[in-house]
Amino acid sequence: MKSFYEAIGILNKNKKEKEQISILLEIPFEMLEYYNNNHILPDSGVLNRIEQKIGISKFDIMLKMGIYTQKLKECLSNKSSILSLDNNIDLINNTNVELAFKTNFGKLYHGDCLDLLSTLENESFDLIFADPPFNLNKLYPSNINDNLKKSEYLEWCEKWLDECIRTLKIGGSLFIWNLPKWNTYLSLYLNERLTFRHWISVDIKYSLPIKGRLYPSHYSLLYYVKGEKPKTFKPDRLPMEVCGKCFNEIKDYGGYKNKMNPLGISLTDVWYDIPPVRHPKYKARKDANELSVKLLDRIIEMSTDVGDTIFDPFGGAGTTYITAEIKQRKWIGIEIGPLDDIINRFKNIQTDRNLILKYRNNYNHLFSPTVEKKRIENHLWTCKK
Ligand SMILES: C[S@@+](CC[C@H](N)C(=O)[O-])C[C@H]1O[C@@H](n2cnc3c(N)ncnc32)[C@H](O)[C@@H]1O
């Protein structure tokens, strides 16, 4: 297996040559070093520039570095010679996307996310969040096929992931929400293309107990960053858990509670406090796998700043878009099925705004003002004494 520099025919030792390549390819020198030192395959935008300017095809680079896609593996096993590999296998038809709705911060398109992605510039987004269909044979209003063969589902995921990686800015964050089963595969794919940050387990029961198996109790939220480190990383701190009746703390802090940070408890990679969206009052779409604004608020707060740009390729009920709008981030969205639920949600934006405000009131202090007052009344310790 060759390193990135070997794959494009330059010597690691020759700093001058590397600097010239960095200028020719319009890639920061540190990113070239990052690809080489971490054995990372550059995104398809960079690979295309290498092909145009140095004349080495992306397939050559993948083969030399020993990094494959489902499609490439399939081609290799079906063809007698790699010389016959079709360079156009990833070509996307970009005709059927229309801009359907605009807000102060965002644009919502109707159509297939792959069609839209193929029209977007390299390095456009600070954050991409994706919650794709889980291939569980679910009936979607758009009638998409949610019962693909495993290899077809993974090949489809690799296509939109490649485009997400290409359109992510350096330092930008990518979050993928899926069942643990699928995220084990997607994670392998992403490890060769981005920097792994976390596998976050979000504790939500998502089906009934199954005989002979453990009761599935978490979704997987993959968190990756493009390049060495994130541009923005500001995780919220959470309140101390207290009993709803007596306001005493639920966990034992081993005699150290007086030393706890008054700004709250550090966020871990296991999230127990994200509610499922079941109540019709809060559900923007009937029969949909709609996520809580609490989840998107946390992700957006952690990985972006006001004014940054967010993309979500799978609109659903528009949870990412409404949260981005409320938090004053620019956003681009797309949904292949009907858009009415998303558009109607923006007419009632105050409902989601109130929910987000309610959640945010609890963050970044050990006790919310209400809990603090109750603890003082009950002669319990607070940060103030
Ligand atoms: C699991 S839902 C997303 C729910 C969303 N995160 C929310 O909280 O409301 C997935 C959505 O992706 C849409 N979808 C599936 N394939 C698509 C594609 N190729 N392009 C755009 N949208 C697609 C489906 O119609 C479905 O509404």
At 225-272, the pLDDT tens digits run 999 999 999 999 999 999 999 999 888 777 777 778 999 999 999 999
Instruction: Give the single-character DSSP code of 84.
Output: G
Rounded to whole angstroms, the Cα distance separating 69 from 73 reads 6
Q: What is the pLDDT of residue 89?
A: 41
Percent of the chain with pLDDT over 90: 77
Q: Is 333 in the pocket of ligand 1 (CB under 6 A)?
A: no
Is 266 buried (19+), middle (13-18) or exposed (0-12) by CB count in 10 A?
exposed
For residue 90, the model assigns a pLDDT of 44
CA of 214 to the centre of ligand 1 (A): 28
pLDDT in tens, 268-296: 999 999 999 876 666 666 656 799 999 99
Structure confidence at residue 92 (pLDDT): 44
Q: How far is the CA of 140 from the centre of ligand 1 (A)?
A: 9
Q: What percent of the chain has pLDDT over 70?
A: 93
Are 286 and 309 in contact by the 8 Å Cβ rule? The answer is no
Q: At 199, phi and psi to the nearest 5?
A: -105, 105
How is residue 86 written in tokens? Answer: 């079709």
What atom in ligand 1 is closest to the CA of residue 132?
10
Mean pLDDT, rounded, for 173-183: 97
69 lines ligand 1 (CB under 6 A): no
Which amino acid would we find at residue 225?
V
Q: From the CB of 112, is ligand 1 less than 6 Å away?
A: yes
Mean pLDDT, rounded, for 174-194: 97
144 Cβ inside 6 Å of ligand 1: yes
Q: Rounded CA gap, 124 and 310, in Å? A: 9
| pLDDT beyond 70 at 385 | no
Ligand 1: distance of its center to the CA of 108 in Å?
13
| Separation of alpha carbons 128 and 146, rounded Å | 22
pLDDT exceeds cutoff 60 at 300: yes
Q: Which domains does the chain have, with CATH numbers?
A: 4-84 (no CATH), 98-255+265-360 (3.40.50.150)
218-225: strand order across its sheet: 98-102, 106-110, 330-335, 309-312, 125-130, 168-178, 218-225, 195-203, 270-271
According to the model, what pLDDT value does residue 91 have?
Answer: 41
According to the model, what pLDDT value does residue 289 have?
Answer: 76
Ligand 1 touching residue 142 (CB < 6 A): yes
Looking at every residue in the chain, the average pLDDT score rounds to 91
User: Where does residue 328 fall: left (phi above 0), alpha (psi -120 to 50 degrees), or beta otherwise?
Assistant: left
The whole-number pLDDT of residue 384 equals 74
Of 187-191, 206-210, 284-288, the range with the lowest mean pLDDT is 284-288
pLDDT of residue 251: 83
